[in-house]
A and B are shown apart, each in its own frame.
Chain A
């Protein structure tokens, strides 16, 4: 179980969403063996939660690169957009 969770967290949102879509389609096709369909449902639920989490976590965070003396990025700092954002 924990292994699968970590696998899902490795997925990008799109991968998770696409896999979820595949799960839904397979479930809808009705040709999945019952036992498997329950596993599939659980997997779909985990995928959905991961996607939902990603959507819920969406928040703007604006930073800008601070360059070091060598011109390479030394880090980031909040980006002041003035009246924007």
Chain B
């Protein structure tokens, strides 16, 4: 800088003043700043410079601020919004980039900087470094975690394929699907390379995912596919927007990007990674023929198996049936008891009836009852009747007693002994004389013999015989016996 102006040997004065031979007035700061700005911008109107990004900052306005640096120097940079939108990658600190743009100054701050119009990664190494950084960052977020992986549907009803409609990829997929299990496929055509490809792929993945649950076109499996290519060709599938779309998708996703050796971040985010699009089709569907065989096998086994419990049941039934006691044996005791009870019932009924009949007949009003009653009454009456015996007996008794008395009397009859030679002497009055004195006093005596009386007189001459007089005690006998005694009436005739 100093070379542009002649050096001033003199010491500096206290107050600036004009010099001889130099009529140049001092420049203002603005003047020099403007001059500098012009010079820099003219001289460095287009530069490409390589450096490492640092201090990358996106403002809310969409502009990006950063610095480019190497070992010894640092240069601020700015990228306006319009250009940042065309960035093919996400700028990050530490990335080695080649930035194209123009240098400019910022007089207000005494600064200079590069206004970046384009920025590219500085070679494949830088690309891989970026890939690794992005991978590490998203992995740290857990986007690739194995817990996030979902099982693919066993037999998807509809398969969504996100790929280029014109590539061989879609034909490979459709061919293999047709071979294995013809399926419904909905292709979402996208660019798979270049500007906007990542956004289209991400948009398609999100678009399928956003379909309503029961939308007829909603796939239950999505394949994101692209054929092989360079790392740059495949770059869209390393873009965060694609990775996030796949990780966020509600539909299980297979990624099949590039060849077997190519691994993109989309592969990490997908639920399954297929080495090729054809392999993706194989993962997507089972082989129909095999399923049919499995089904036929189940069918056959089922038919075999269903007969087994029947057979088994029959055998078990048979075994138990054999152990069942004979029906007769089972029933016999009961039958017997029943018979017995029936017999008792009959008998009981009969007995009861007989009893009843008997009681009825007993109770029945019949001539027998009356007759019996009559008989009884007769008997009672007969019992009660005045019997002649009642009279006869006392009469007989009395007669007996009388007879007894008569016998006694007869035995006591003084005349009884007459038959044996005794005689009884009575006076004229009939009194029996028992002593001599009495007899001597009597005018006449009557000697009573067995067979009659003899009148005698006491003394030497027998007195005249007086008329015989009947004794009081036995007038009848004497009278009857004598036949001379006055007759007396029999009391009882």
List CB contacts (< 8 Å) of A50-85 with chain B: 51-52, 54-55, 58-65, 71-73, 75-76, 79, 81-85
Q: Cα distance A85–B184 when bound, in Å? A: 12
CB-based contact A17/B294 at 8 Å: yes
Residues of B within 8 A of A83 (CB): 171
Kindly provide the distance from the CB of A23 to the nearest chain B CB, expressed in whole angstroms: 7
Complex alpha-carbon distance, A26 and B195, angstroms? 58
B-chain residues with CB within 8 Å of residue A84 when the two chains form the complex:
170-171, 174-175
Given contacts A48-B295, A60-B174, A84-B174, A24 and B187 within 8 Å (CB-CB): no
Indicate if the CB atoms of B295 and A23 lie closer than 8 Å.
no
What's the Cα separation between A62 and B158 when bound, in Å?
Answer: 10
How near does chain A come to B178, taking the closest CB pair, in angstroms?
Answer: 5
B 338-368 binary contact with A (CB < 8 Å = 1; else 0)? 0000000000000000000000000000000
Is A51 in contact with B175, judged by CB distance below 8 angstroms?
no
Within the complex, what minimum Cβ distance (angstroms) separates A64 from chain B? Answer: 4
Of the listed stretches B43-51, B302-310, B324-332, B434-442, chain A binds: B302-310
A17 CB contacts on chain B under 8 angstroms: 154, 291, 294-295
A-B residue pairs in contact (CB < 8 Å), sample of 23: A13-B291, A14-B153, A17-B291, A21-B298, A27-B309, A32-B309, A34-B309, A37-B306, A41-B302, A48-B295, A51-B291, A58-B183, A58-B288, A60-B174, A60-B182, A62-B184, A76-B186, A79-B187, A81-B174, A84-B171, A84-B175, A85-B171, A85-B174
Within 8 A of A (CB), among B431-486: none
Give Cα A80–Cα B485 distance, bound, in whole angstroms. 196
Number of interface residues of A (CB under 8 A): 43
Given contacts A17-B294, A63-B186, 4 further A-B contacts (CB under 8 A): A12-B155, A14-B153, A41-B302, A73-B211
Question: B153 touching A63 by the CB < 8 A rule?
Answer: no
Q: Mark A40-54, 1 if CB is under 8 A from B, else 0.
A: 010011001001101
Q: When the two chains form the complex, which single residue of B154, B165, B175, B294 contacts A12, counting CB atoms closer than 8 Å?
A: B154
Q: Are B298 and A64 in contact (CB under 8 A)?
A: no
Which residues of chain A come closer than 8 Å to B308, judged between CB atoms? Answer: 27-28, 30
A41 touches B306 (CB 8 A): yes
B313 to chain A, nearest CB (A): 5
A-to-B contact residues, CB < 8 Å: 12-14, 17, 20-21, 23-24, 27-28, 30, 32-34, 37-38, 41, 44-45, 48, 51-52, 54-55, 58-65, 71-73, 75-76, 79, 81-85
Give the docked Cα–Cα distance between A27 and B187 (Å).
43
Instruction: Spell out B's residues near A (CB within 8 Å).
Output: 153-155, 165, 170-171, 174-175, 177-178, 181-189, 203-204, 207, 211, 217, 288, 291-292, 294-295, 298-299, 301-302, 304-306, 308-310, 312-313
Chain B residue contacts of A64, Cβ below 8 A = 165, 186-189
Complex Cα–Cα for A74 and B288 (A): 32
> With A55-B288, A63-B186 known to touch, is A24 a contact of B305 (CB < 8 Å)?
yes
**Residue of A37, A54, A61 touching B155 (CB-CB under 8 A):** A54
Instruction: Please give, as numbers and ranges, the residues of chain B lying within 8 Å of A51 by CB-CB distance.
Output: 291, 295
Q: Are B298 and A55 interface neighbours, CB within 8 A? A: no
User: What is the CB-to-nearest-CB distance from B189 to chain A, in angstroms, rounded to a whole number?
Assistant: 6
